Amino acid sequence: MLDSPRITRAVHFRRPRPPSTGIPMDKLKIRGGARLRGEVAVSGAKNAALPILAASLLTADEFIVDNVPQLQDVATTLKLLRQMGVAAERDGGTVRLKADDLSNTEAPYEMVKTMRASILVLGPLVARFGTARVSLPGGCAIGARPVDQHIKGLELLGARIRIEGGFVVAEAKRLKGTRIVTDMVTVTGTENLMMAAALAEGETIIENAAREPEVVDLADALNAMGARISGAGTASIAVQGVERLHGTRHRVMPDRIETGTFLTAVAAAGGEAVLRGAAPHTLDAVLDKLKEAGADLRAEGDLLSIRMDRRPRAVSLRTAPYPAFPTDMQAQFMALDCVADGVARITETIFENRFMHVLELQRLGANIAIEGNTAVVHGVDRLAGAPVMATDLRASACLVVAALAADGETLVDRIYHLDRGYEKMESKLAALGAQVERVK
């Protein structure tokens, strides 16, 4: 049975006035060139929190999520859920959600354009309510990033989908389990289809599924809600659909990209640090590359410690789906390679336009040449601080890493990108002894 009768009203957000960006244009002032030393607590993973919050749409019961990071993308997700009528309350790291009385099943353009992950409401909405109207995300700074695989999978599950006025409009009676082979490995695509299949009739097999740890964390949350999902973390996920899901309490996994970013900062600037509350087993490819660069790394339980007493050695890498090297760490490693001894080749295979940070790194004195989807980085002895501009989330993290390794002062503009995905970045850097200041 679908829960559609609870939708009382369809709200179409066609406001005549242009949306205000409301984006604070804060900058980060960093005085670099000094060794880092200290301890940092790792936050909950952004990329696990977003789909898990969206999963609240799959049940009318209360759903409690712990270890939710304070980030702009989380705030956007909660705003998105609230405007549909989901009760969502946040108390520190804990968010309580209840989707028992939805007023609409729409994700408006104003929200989706600021956060592509808004597409994650599509699967849950169509599975539980039989209707969804989600704005198409459009382009973004790091490439085209279409959602055709989300749509293809939902159609195979029996949804009728049309594109209307820039929106994906999906309708279905109860979805029916099926076999889906995605054309490429897609993280949010796998998550959307897993959530939709959880409430479908019968068995769904998702082949060529993303194996990212965040997919596993979502599957764990869904199983705690009564879903029957097996194989998450492998390329073949089996979902036995159930009639309804119930409430639960789930703790979001540690953020492996935030962890990797701080480790890379220490490797680039030199020094030693301990990261508490990390999940070292989710970081194999990154830890291997840091060791190759010359870092001394130790993992013990949820503690990860790093020590770097030398100039980094250049490390070449190629991004690919998990468990290979993550595209979300590519930019930060490029910053490391800028000050390394030797020449590194960095190949980006996931997003076609993810080298926007190269021009900014060059402003700091980096020597980088682009050959197609490969950046050839000739390490220089020192970078020198300069004003730079963040272009996307991980590019801003890359500029912070470079600024910490550079002599003098760097002013990183447009750090609203950073605030989308890094919790308390400046206070965590300050805990490592970095000289960082937010300029309003």
Residues forming the active site: 140
Window 355-384: residues binding ligand UD1 (CB under 6 A): none
Q: Does 117 bind ligand UD1 (CB under 6 A)?
A: yes
| Beta carbons within 8 Å of 115's beta carbon, 6+ residues apart | 73, 76, 77, 420
Q: Does 150 bind ligand UD1 (CB under 6 A)?
A: yes
> What does DSSP assign to residue 340?
S
Q: Does 417 bind ligand UD1 (CB under 6 A)?
A: no
Q: Does 27 bind ligand UD1 (CB under 6 A)?
A: no
Q: Which stretch binds ligand UD1 (CB under 6 A): 186-194, 241-249, 293-301, 423-431?
A: 186-194
Window 299-328: residues binding ligand UD1 (CB under 6 A): 327-328
Tokens of 65: 């999520």
Tokens of 126: 């169509």
C-beta separation of 107 from 150 below 8 A: no
Q: Does 186 bind ligand UD1 (CB under 6 A)?
A: yes
End-to-end CA distance of the chain: 51
Closest CA to 263 of 335, 186, 359, 365: 335
Integer angstrom CA distances of residue 336 from 130, 198, 386, 431: 48, 42, 17, 21
Closest distance between ligand UD1 and the C-beta of residue 337, in Å?
19
Window 199-238: residues binding ligand UD1 (CB under 6 A): 214
List helix spans (H) across 130-228.
148-156, 187-198, 213-224
Q: Which stretch binds ligand UD1 (CB under 6 A): 141-149, 155-163, 297-305, 355-363?
A: 141-149
Q: How many residues bind ligand UD1 (CB under 6 A)?
A: 22
C-beta separation of 156 from 178 below 8 A: yes
Nearest to ligand UD1 of 264, 327 (CB atom): 327
Angle 46-54/187-198 helices, nearest 10 degrees? 30
Nearest to ligand UD1 of 321, 365 (CB atom): 321
Tokens of 256: 């492996």
Report which residue type is found at 263.
Answer: L
Q: How far apart are CA 40 and CA 422, in angstroms?
A: 13
Q: Does 198 bind ligand UD1 (CB under 6 A)?
A: no
Q: Which stretch binds ligand UD1 (CB under 6 A): 3-11, 179-187, 281-289, 307-315?
A: 179-187
The correct pick among 27, 98, 145, 250 for binding ligand UD1 (CB under 6 A) is 145
Q: Does 264 bind ligand UD1 (CB under 6 A)?
A: no
Closest distance between ligand UD1 and the C-beta of residue 137, in Å?
9
Chain contacts with ligand UD1 (rule: CB under 6 A): 47, 50, 116-117, 143-150, 184, 186-189, 214, 327-328, 350-351
